[in-house]
Amino acid sequence: MIYILLIALVLDWYFGEPEFLWSRLPHPIVLFGKAVSFADKRLNRSGDSEDTQYRKGAFAVVLLLLTSLIAAFLTEALIDNLGWLGLGVELFLVFVLLAQKSLADHVDAVSKGLKRDGLEGGRNAVSMIVGRDPGSLDEAGVSRAAIESLAENFSDGVVAPAFWYMVFGLPGIFVYKIINTADSMIAYRNEKYLWFGRVAAQVDDLANWVPARISSVLIAAGAGMLNGVNAFKASLVTALQDSGLHRSPNAGWPEAAMAGGTNIALGGPRVYPDEIVQQAYLNSSGKSDLSAEDIDISLRVFALSCFSLWFVTGVLAVLF
């Protein structure tokens, strides 16, 4: 199983999303999204009381977890009867549920947009990966948003699915991905989802608790390989000291590690369509006037962090 994960990580880095396939077949995440959307449409009613919305949201999460578990166990049963071909099916599923290359490509597009088309190009590219209002962002804000998304999604899109697959196999990665999909779709802090999506957000926080902290160590390792021992130390210290300043119990860890390892300031106030979030800066003494160059540096740290994950996975494969 760990060997499958290692190969999947390498394949994902080099090949990413096979668009030719997903133009013909539904991506597993699309199927997860349809399940979440079905639960939302059937259970979420604006006229319900807050308590009823909360209970219905909890019921929806339970149904989604059971659905993903049944899908995983049925898939495992099929794989067990396919021999070597079954291992190929499992490898493919793990490969498509990781997001190293797609994440790097989306963030790199922000850097290229800033360089090629200026602020408007950066705003257009960053609007594809963050929920905040792009029109409120200057060049530093666009760069900061892209780097924060890179750090947070390294945890959510790479480390967490790898971790849960390593621990529980296909059931682990299927359950994690449907939890994370539900969080991204129904865990908004607005009138429609504040209570209905609360359990989804709470379960997602639990699922990401360990991976987020592992991610901060891997980012520190990446920063250390790029910028030396002092960067490694600064990354870890900043993660320990500033992660709690983030409104998320988990996102602050990889973001603070990235901020400390590259000596930039992340976080700060954010403007979303429905609210303005006041947040302290992570590594507030770091560089705040960010640009496309800082995105490029963070992408190099990200790449080395991914390679660190490969190394750890390879060591575990040899040991176990």
Predicted pLDDT of residue 320: 84
Hey, what's the torsion of the CAs at 58, 59, 62, 64, to 10 degrees? -100
* Nearest CA-CA partner of 255 in 240, 266, 241: 266
Predicted pLDDT of residue 275: 61
Do 33 and 184 contact (CB within 8 A), yes or no? no
* Residue 176 within a domain: yes
Assigned token pair, 6: 């290692």
* Residue 97 within a domain: yes
Do 87 and 137 contact (CB within 8 A), yes or no? no
Do 90 and 3 contact (CB within 8 A), yes or no? no
* Residue 49 within a domain: yes
Predicted pLDDT of residue 316: 94
Distance (Å, rounded) from C-alpha 225 to C-alpha 80?
41
Predicted pLDDT of residue 273: 62
* Residue 99 within a domain: yes
Predicted pLDDT of residue 274: 59
Distance (Å, rounded) from C-alpha 308 to C-alpha 257?
15
* pTM (predicted TM-score): 0.95
* Residue 18 within a domain: no
- The count of structural domains within the chain is 1
* Nearest CA-CA partner of 104 in 282, 252, 305, 244: 305
Q: Which residues, at least 6 apart from 99, have a Cβ–Cβ distance to it below 8 Å?
A: 12, 153, 157, 158, 161
* Residue 22 within a domain: no
* Residue 298 within a domain: yes
Assigned token pair, 194: 């504040």
Predicted pLDDT of residue 265: 97
Q: Which residues of the chain have pLDDT under 50?
A: none
Q: Name residue 277's beta-bridge partners.
A: 270
Q: Give the residue numbers spanning the domain of 127.
A: 2-11+27-319
* Residue 16 within a domain: no
Do 200 and 62 contact (CB within 8 A), yes or no? no
